[in-house]
Amino acid sequence: MSFDVENPPVEPPADCRHRLLWRLARAMRETHRPDSNSFCMASGSWHAKHRDLCRLAQLAQEGMRTACGEPSTSSPPWIAVTRERLAAGEIDPVDAVAEVLWHHRHTPRTRR
């Protein structure tokens, strides 16, 4: 991984394949990060063993890994959620266009 899953950057890393997915997962991770007493910031539930993240924070980490091309069991649902949020208008179309343009500039072209 090109990033620290315990302290991921706000902006997607350079090798990130799905920047919108990164932003969704990163926002979820920020919401469910543990406070100084190991309680989930969103639910107030205690993080098991004081070191384990709550299940939603773990899912967010899997989403960030998926965004960077590392497959996990939660990859298909993360990609589906991103598409659904785009279709429902919950993601700014400007961000969606920026994602397409980014891919256009960063995807190698094959010659025919």
**pLDDT of 27-41, one tens digit each?**
888 888 777 777 777
Domain count, the chain: 1
- Within a domain: residue 101? yes
Residue recorded with tokens 């910031």 = 41
- Within a domain: residue 5? no
**Residue range of the domain that includes 77:** 19-106
- Within a domain: residue 34? yes
- Within a domain: residue 112? no
The closest of 34, 13, 38, 23 to 96, measured between CA atoms, is: 23
pLDDT along the chain (112 residues), means of 10: 83 88 88 76 63 78 90 79 80 68 62 48
- pTM exceeds 0.85, yes or no: no
The closest of 23, 43, 35, 33 to 98, measured between CA atoms, is: 23
**pLDDT of 53-66, one tens digit each?**
777 888 888 899 98
